Amino acid sequence: MNPRRTHYTNTAIALHWVSALLIAGGFVLGLTMVDLPVSPRKLQWYSYHKWIGVTVFGLVCLRLLWRLRHPVPLAPSGMRPWQRHVAGVTHWALYVLLFLIPLSGWLYSSASGYPVVYLGIKALQLPDLVHKGKAMAQVLRLVHELLNYTLLGLVLVHAGAALKHHFIDDDDVLRRMLPRRAVRSKARDESSCVAIDE
Binding residues for ligand HEM, rule: CB under 6 A, are 16, 19-20, 23-24, 67, 72, 87, 91, 94-95, 98, 155, 158-159, 162-163, 173-174, 176-177
* Rounded Cα–Cα distance for residues 169 and 176 (Å): 14
* Rounded Cα–Cα distance for residues 155 and 22 (Å): 13
Which residues, listed in sequence order, are joined to residue 75 by a DSSP beta bridge? 194
Least Å distance, CB 20 to ligand HEM, is 4
Q: Is 125 helix (H, G, I), strand (E, B) or coil?
A: strand
Residue with smaller CB distance to ligand HEM, 72 or 140 = 72
Residue with smaller CB distance to ligand HEM, 75 or 137 = 75
Q: Is 181 helix (H, G, I), strand (E, B) or coil?
A: coil
* Rounded Cα–Cα distance for residues 99 and 73 (Å): 23
Start-to-end CA span in the chain (Å): 17
Residue with smaller CB distance to ligand HEM, 143 or 162 = 162
CA 44 to chain centre: 23
Residue with smaller CB distance to ligand HEM, 45 or 95 = 95
* Rounded Cα–Cα distance for residues 145 and 20 (Å): 18
Q: Is 166 helix (H, G, I), strand (E, B) or coil?
A: helix
Residue with smaller CB distance to ligand HEM, 126 or 177 = 177
Least Å distance, CB 76 to ligand HEM, is 9
Least Å distance, CB 12 to ligand HEM, is 7
Residue with smaller CB distance to ligand HEM, 117 or 174 = 174
> Closest Cα partner for 57 from 107, 2, 14, 100?
100
Length of the chain: 198
Least Å distance, CB 175 to ligand HEM, is 8
Least Å distance, CB 111 to ligand HEM, is 26
Least Å distance, CB 45 to ligand HEM, is 20
